[in-house]
Structure formats: C-alpha cells, structure tokens
C-alpha cells in the first residue's frame, strides 16, 4: 500500500469520518496527494467518499488579454465608428480577428471597399457586447459560472477557448470502512512499497524481495487533446488527392526565381504594374539569377519587342525575386516538355501536371489577401484542347475539393488567350479563386494547331473561404491554440 494511502487510513482510524479539510490537517498530505489516495482506496472499498458536483473555470491567457483590452470585435466597432472605414485600413492581426467575429455576429457589413456598422453593430457599440460582459464577470468571479452556464455568450467563450470549464466532483467527507480497518491492521508501515525503479536500484538489485506499489489502471486522468493537422495542410492534402484522382502528376520549382520565369517567359511586359516593387519582393543577395539557355532568352526577347514595341532588358529579366505565383513552375515545365517534343522526344498526350506551393507578394492585408499565401497550378499539354475541356477539368477538380458551385467570366491575363476568371460563392458574394485560360503561342513557341496548353492558378486559402470554414484568410496564419482546437472540433 502506498504511504499516502496509509496516511489517509491512519488519520481515519480514530475518527472514522472526516471532512476533506480536516483529513488534510490530520494526515499532513497535500490536497492532490490526499485526493489521489482517496480515489485509490475508494476503488478498493476501503473508504467511502461523499462527493458534490461543481465547476472549475479558468480564463485563458488570450482571454485575460481581452478582459484587459476588450474583445477584438469590440475594438473593431470603435475603430469603424459611425462613418465606417476603408477595408484597406484593417491591417493588423487583431483587426482580422475582430472582422471575422463582427461579421459572424452581424455587427458589420461590407459596402464596396468600406466597412460599416449594421443596426446591431451600432447598438453594440453603445451598449457593449454581451460576450465581453460575461468574460469580465467570470474573470472577477469564476464561481458565477452557474449563472451564465446556459447562455450563448458562455458557449461562445468556450468555443473560442477564452475560458476553460471543467466539471468536477469535490470530496466533502471521507469515512473508513470495515475493510479499510482490516487492511490497515494487516499493513506493515515499515515495509513501504517501492513506487518506482531507478538505475541504481536495478544495478544493485536492491529491489529483490521488496513489494511494489500496484498500478491502478482505472484511476481517472485528464483528457488528452489529440493532435491533428492544420486546416491549411488538410486543404493542401485534399487538393493533391483531387489532382491525383484526375490523373495529374505533381511537380515543383524554386520559390526564389529570376524575374524571367515569373514574368518575362509568361509574356508579362517589363513595365507591367505587377512587377513593381509594390507587388513584388526583390532580393538584395543575390540581386540577379542568370538563365543559361541563351536561345530561349533570345526568343523571349524577340516576342516582347515585337508585341510590346519597346526595348527588352536582360538585366531586368534576371533580377532575383520571390515568386509571386506558382505559374513560374508551370512555365518551366511547358518550356521543358515542348522543347523536348520539338527535339523529337515522343510523349503520350495529354500530359497533366500540377504544383502546390507558397508565394510572396507585397499585398495589403485584408480578409482575402495576405503577403504569404499558397497557390495550386495545373497544366494540360495536348492537341485540340478548348475552353470546354478547361471548364470540365476545373469543375471536376473542385468537386473533388468539396466545392460544386463555380462561375467563369472572361478576364485578361498576359499569359493566356482567351482568359477566364474562376469564381466561387462565399455567402452572397462571388469570390475570385484564380485565373485560367489557354497558354499563348508566344509562350509555348509552337502553333496551337500542333500542341496547345490549358493552364490555371487559383489560390489555396480561398478554398476555405468558399467552403465557409473561415471568414478571413488571416485566421489561418494566427497562433491561437483555441482557434486550432475549434477548427478541429476538439
């Protein structure tokens, strides 16, 4: 028998029945030690423990911050005010969280490029948000939880992991049984059982002939939070499965590229706004990355000078940049495969490739944009391919990702002709998922009557927007464990 169990039985031997506080004083044990021993003894029928139910409420670190400064949605309402603000003004992580919850609660609405308060939002700005009031009340007096337990505000606080509530039974009184008295009489306290083995005991074999404390496999334990994949990683895995299910092969390419592969090869003119420092991250070291294929560089230069009627700069094309889209990977493989076909290598058409990867743009952060984001690109190289083939592939692809409602509308992109914009529905709004089209012959260097290429490059995070799993892309890049557990249903 463990020494803590012996201490409990010894304290109860004379008095027969004690309150928990009195037992702690008599036995000299700490609360956790005594409760552990009482649980073990009760499971063996050596003591009886009277229990009463209750709740233990703990405010999380994130919740404590909100108690001090206010909930993000409350701060957002103050920021928006009566006049509203531009969406571009929502730059901080706190703004994004506030926007997400305020939109979910119907406190704000988007009108054009401005964010305004709804009628409910105006009332909340004056009277306060109920969730915030309950959070502050629980922070001052956790025992008041029973008063708010069934309210929507409390459910929301638990969902957001701002409070952690544990139901528990507290031991009020403990009584020794007849079996307990007999067990204590038989037990020799001088022969204390070994609780754990260490290296010294094993080496010296001092454990031989001694008794060991038995394990109680029925002893209650704290619930373990099971690990799970991040929602963004799950989505990327779903994308891969959807592509592979349609017979595509995955390829990859570097994140740091010469501007040649990101822009020039893709027929983006060198004075295009997308190449400006406002959108593109240019590297300082190295400043340039050379493309060794001189014939390819010469061909691209001629196409640019013919089409855009200006002087093409090799130095601009060799600037080292962080890729702004994964279409640079598609471009590399289009050039490689068609070049090999022209050299006489036989391919079985159509060839279907895809890539999923990170991209970097100097974007203004808002619910639909971040500076660091993922994109999936796909290409099909074949003969006689049309927009009908493109639409068919994209519809099947997105069904594999759980999205069945798509729209296509004409759109200009420098590297495709014709080009279309792919849209998915997010609530009452149609959100751009990405661009698609048929790659221009200026890029492939071959007449479409011989070979043509279908291509597309939608965003990954927006899939979660359209599936209504998030309200803002910025949610995916936060560090809130509470949010992650909520997304995982824990």
End-to-end Cα, the chain, rounded Å? 38
Residue 48 in contact with residue 80, Cβ under 8 Å? no
Q: By CB neighbour count within 10 A (0-12 exposed, 13-18 middle, 19+ buried), where does 181 fall?
A: middle
Check residue 327 and give its pLDDT.
95
CB-CB neighbours of 119 under 10 Å: 9
Does 212 score more than 90 pLDDT?
A: no
For residue 477, name the pLDDT band (cuts at 50, 70, 90): confident
Least confident residue range of 172-176, 297-301, 410-414, 469-473: 469-473
What's the angle, vertex CA 453, arms to CA 449 and CA 459, rounded to 5?
160
Q: Is there a domain that residue 75 lies in?
A: no
Predicted confidence at residue 490, as pLDDT, reads 55
Express as a percent the part of the chain with pLDDT over 90. Answer: 41
Task: Give the pLDDT score at 53.
Answer: 66
Q: Could you give the C-alpha distances from 26 to 2, 61, 465, in angstroms and in order?
A: 17, 37, 61
* pLDDT bucket at 416, cuts 50 / 70 / 90: very high
Residue 14 lies in a domain: no
pLDDT at 442 over 90: yes
- 437 Cβ neighbours under 8 A, 6+ residues apart: 387, 390, 413, 415, 416, 417, 418, 419, 420, 454, 455, 456
**Residue 390 pLDDT class (50, 70, 90 cuts):** very high
Residue 100 predicted with pLDDT over 80: yes
pLDDT in tens, 102-114: 888 899 898 888 8
User: What φ, ψ does residue 165 adopt, rounded to 5°?
Assistant: -115, 125
CB 439 within 8 A of CB 334: yes
Summary mean pLDDT of the chain:
87
Q: Which domain holds residue 385?
A: 233-255+323-486
Number of domains the chain contains: 1
Q: With 0-12 CB in 10 A as exposed, 13-18 as middle and 19+ as buried, what is 378? A: buried
User: Is 344 part of a structural domain of the chain?
Assistant: yes
Rounded-to-integer distance, Cα 392 and Cα 388, Å: 6
The pLDDT assigned to 188 comes to 56
Q: Look at residue 414 and tell me if it is in a domain.
A: yes
Q: What is the 3-state secondary structure (H, E, C) of the chain?
A: CCHHHHHHHHHHHHHCEEEHHHHHHHHCCCHHHHHHHHHHHHHCCCEEEEEEEEEEEEECHHHHHHHHHCCHHHHHHHHHCCCCEEHHHCCCHHHHHHHHHHHHCCCEEEECCEEEECHHHHHHHHHCCHHHHHHHHHHHCHHHHHHHCCCHHHHHHHHCCCEEEEEEEEEEEEEECHHHHHHHHHCCCCCCCECCCCHHHHHHCCCCCCCECCCCCCCCCCCCCCCCCCHHHHHHHHHHHHHHHCCCEECCCCCEEEHHHHHHCCCCCCCCHHHCCCCCCECCCCCECCCCCHHHHHHHHHHHHHHHCCCCCHHHHCEEEECCCCHHHHHHHHHHHHHHHHCCCCCCCCEEEEEEEEEECCCCCECCECCEEEEEEEEEEECCCCHHHHHHHHHHHHHHCCCCCEEEEECCECCEEEEEEEEEEECCEEEEEEEEEEECHHHHCCCCCCCEEEEEEEECHHHHHHCCCCCCHHHHHCCCHHHHHHHCCC
CA distance 388 to 337: 23
CATH of the domain at 457: 3.30.930.10
Mean of the pLDDT values across residues 307-314?
Answer: 92
Quick: pLDDT tens for 319-368.
999 999 999 999 999 999 999 999 999 999 999 999 999 999 887 777 77
Mean pLDDT of 418-428: 89
pLDDT at 169: 61
Segment 446-457 shows an average pLDDT of 93
The most confident of the ranges 151-160, 226-235, 296-305 is: 296-305
User: Which tokens sit at 232?
Assistant: 């963004």
Per-residue pLDDT tens digits for 18-45: 888 888 888 888 888 888 888 888 888 8
For the cut 60, the answer to whether the pLDDT of residue 190 exceeds it is no
CA distance 104 to 307: 48
Residue 159 lies in a domain: no
* Cβ contacts of 445 within 8 Å, gap of 6 or more: 299, 338, 342
Structure tokens at 100: 């997400």
């Amino acid at each position: 028998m463990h020494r803590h169990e012996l201490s409990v039985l010894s304290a109860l031997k004379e008095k027969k029945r004690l309150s928990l506080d009195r037992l702690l004083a008599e036995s000299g044990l700490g609360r956790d030690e005594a409760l552990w021993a009482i649980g073990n003894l009760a499971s063996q029928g050596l003591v009886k423990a009277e229990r009463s139910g209750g709740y233990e409420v703990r405010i999380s670190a994130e919740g404590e911050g909100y108690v001090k400064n206010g909930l993000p949605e409350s701060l957002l309402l103050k920021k928006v005010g009566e006049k509203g603000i531009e969406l571009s003004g929502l730059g901080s992580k706190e703004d994004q969280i506030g926007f997400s919850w305020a939109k979910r609660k119907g406190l704000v609405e988007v009108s054009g490029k401005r964010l305004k308060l709804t009628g409910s939002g105006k009332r909340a700005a004056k009277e306060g948000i109920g969730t915030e009031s309950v959070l502050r009340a629980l922070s001052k007096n956790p025992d008041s939880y029973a008063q708010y337990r069934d309210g929507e505000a409390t459910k929301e606080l638990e969902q957001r992991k701002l409070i952690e509530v544990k139901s528990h039974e507290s031991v009020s009184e403990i009584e020794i049984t007849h079996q307990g008295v007999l067990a204590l009489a038989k037990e020799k306290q001088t022969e204390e059982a070994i609780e754990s083995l260490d290296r010294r005991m094993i080496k010296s074999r001092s454990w031989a002939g001694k008794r060991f404390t038995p394990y109680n496999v029925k002893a209650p334990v704290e619930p373990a939070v099971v690990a799970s994949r991040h929602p963004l990683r799950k989505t990327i895995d779903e994308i891969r499965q959807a592509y592979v299910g349609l017979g595509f092969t995955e390829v990859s390419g570097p994140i740091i590229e010469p501007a040649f592969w990101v822009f020039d090869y893709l027929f983006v003119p060198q004075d295009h706004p997308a190449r400006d420092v406002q959108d593109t991250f240019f590297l300082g070291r190295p400043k340039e990355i050379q493309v060794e294929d001189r014939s390819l560089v010469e061909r691209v230069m001629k196409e640019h000078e013919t089409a855009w009627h200006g002087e093409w700069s090799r130095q601009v094309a060799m600037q080292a940049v962080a890729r702004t889209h994964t279409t640079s990977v598609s471009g590399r493989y289009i050039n490689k495969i068609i070049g090999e076909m022209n050299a006489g290598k036989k391919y079985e058409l159509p060839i279907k490739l895809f890539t999923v990867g990170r991209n970097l743009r100097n974007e203004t952060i808002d619910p639909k944009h971040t500076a660091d984001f993922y994109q999936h690109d796909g290409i099909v190289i074949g003969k006689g391919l049309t927009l009908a083939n493109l639409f068919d592939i994209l519809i099947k692809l997105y069904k594999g990702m759980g999205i069945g409602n798509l729209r296509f509308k004409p759109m200009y992109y420098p590297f495709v002709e014709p080009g279309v914009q792919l849209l998915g529905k997010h609530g009452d709004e149609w959100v751009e998922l990405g661009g698609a089209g048929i790659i221009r012959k200026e890029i492939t260097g071959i007449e479409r009557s011989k070979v043509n290429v279908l291509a597309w490059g939608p965003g990954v995070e927006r899939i979660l927007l359209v599936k209504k799993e998030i309200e803002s892309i910025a949610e995916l890049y936060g560090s809130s464990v509470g949010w992650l557990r909520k997304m995982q249903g824990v």
